[in-house]
Amino acid sequence: MMVAVGQAAPDFTLQANGNRTISLRDFRGQYVVLYFYPKDMTPGCTTEACDFRDYHPKFAELNTVVLGISPDDVKSHDKFVAKHELPFPLLADPDHQVAEAYGVWVLKKMYGREYMGIERSTFLIDPEGTIVKVWPKVKVKGHVEEVLQTIEQLQQQ
């Protein structure tokens, strides 16, 4: 089951690019955009990461941290970050425990083959650690702009 709006965001501690260890609780007091994506260096995932990169200054203005999570290892994340100059952390979830906690590790089908993998999803977590918006089955085009608009609306309330 995917976590829902109103629930406390499941806490985690994972290794990230740049030889860092990152915990969700480190970002209390800020909004967190937690996005799960299937694989480094693939077309859709690269587009999504670069969109978050291009809007990063705007997220920073809104006291919002962007964190990307995939099952790829830290070495893969380091290459992905370097190649595309990503200014935010990518976290390695190789045993998909965090993906499972958020309900995004699902049975997928492609070309008649079934396998387990990440369902591209984004969670917006408020400064108190509560999930305030969920985007399941994300379509990349226009997604980052929609996330940004949602944060702006929440902060105007």
Q: Which residues have C-beta within 8 Å of that of residue 97, sequence separation ≥ 6?
A: 12
Q: For the CA atoms of 131, 47, 52, 106, what is the dihedral angle to 10 degrees?
A: 20
In the sheet that 121-125 helps form, which strands lie side by side, from edge to edge?
A: 20-23, 13-16, 90-92, 64-70, 31-36, 121-125, 131-135
The active-site residue out of 3, 32, 34, 45 is 45
CB 45 within 8 A of CB 37: yes
Q: Which of 81, 96, 12 is nearest to 40 (CA)?
A: 81
Q: Is 45 among the catalytic positions?
A: yes
Alpha carbon separation from 149 to 10, 32, 36, 109 (Å, rounded): 24, 14, 19, 32
Active site residues: 45
